[in-house]
């Protein structure tokens, strides 16, 4: 009878130990998931702020183009450097092959087939995500066919 009580007790201990280890593993996974969600939330908030700042960058670039002011150019370059340090990268489009994942064709113009002739509005990546798609004019060798 004593052996029977001991084996039942040992089984209970092993069972409780297994449950305790699973609970610890579940808790560790929960901590990791919460940490990932926090990072995603911060990145999402940054993305919203960066999108708003890009509108200002667009305006400043237009001003720079027309005014050709050295002080404005320096300030714009500093702003672009800050945005770059936050992980924002311009989508390289001018002269490149049209990519529907990162570009929107707003006009088809005469030029080299499927090449970007003009960037109307710059696009940007934030990490591995497209934050803003580039709006471009795409070349076609023969416009009369369409």
pTM: 0.67
Task: Look at 29-43, 81-95, 122-136 and tell me which has the smallest mean pLDDT.
Answer: 29-43
Indicate if 38 and 93 belong to the same structural domain. no
Determine which helix (DSSP H) or strand (DSSP E) holds 86, and give its type and residue range. none
Considering its fold, how many domains does the chain have in total?
2
- 53 shares a domain with 24: yes
Give me the residues paired with residue 75 across strands.
Answer: none
- Structural domain ending residue among the three candidates 44, 66, 86: 86
Do 11 and 46 share a domain, yes or no? yes
Asked if residue 128 and residue 73 are part of one domain, the reply reads no
pLDDT tens digits, 52-90? 999 999 999 999 999 999 999 999 999 999 999 988 999
Residue ending a domain, choose from 58, 86, 114? 86
Cα atoms in the 13 Å half-sphere on the side-chain side of 129: 11
Of 130, 126, 127, 128, residue with least CA distance to 50: 126
The H or E element spanning position 115 is: none
Domain that holds residue 137: 88-146
Question: Using one digit for the tens of pLDDT, what is the confidence trace for 36-55?
Answer: 888 877 777 788 889 999 99
Helix (H, G, I), strand (E, B) or coil at 77: helix
For residue 131, give every residue at least 6 positions away whose Cβ sits within 8 Å of its Cβ, in sequence order, or none.
Answer: 47, 50, 51, 54, 88, 123, 124, 125
Residues 1 and 51 in one domain: yes
pLDDT at residue number 44: 74
Give the integer Cα–Cα distance in Å for 91 and 99: 10
Task: Let me know whether 45 and 68 are in one domain.
Answer: yes
Look at residue 143 in the predicted model and tell me its pLDDT: 66
Name residue, tokens 């940007």: 124
Question: Is the domain of 72 the same as that of 3?
Answer: yes
């Amino acid at each position: 009878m004593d052996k029977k009580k001991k084996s039942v007790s040992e089984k209970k201990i092993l069972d409780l130990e297994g449950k305790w280890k699973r609970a610890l593993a579940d808790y560790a996974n929960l901590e990791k998931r919460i940490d990932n969600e926090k990072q995603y939330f911060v990145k999402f908030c940054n993305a919203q702020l960066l999108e708003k700042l890009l509108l200002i960058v667009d305006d400043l670039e237009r001003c720079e183009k027309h005014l050709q002011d050295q002080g404005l150019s320096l300030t714009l370059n500093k702003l672009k450097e800050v945005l770059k340090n936050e992980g924002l990268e311009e989508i390289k489009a001018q002269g490149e092959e049209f990519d529907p994942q990162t570009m929107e064709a707003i006009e088809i113009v005469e030029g080299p087939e499927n090449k970007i002739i003009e960037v109307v509005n710059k696009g940007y990546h934030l990490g591995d995500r497209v934050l803003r798609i580039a709006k471009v004019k795409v070349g076609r060798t023969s416009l009369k066919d369409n």
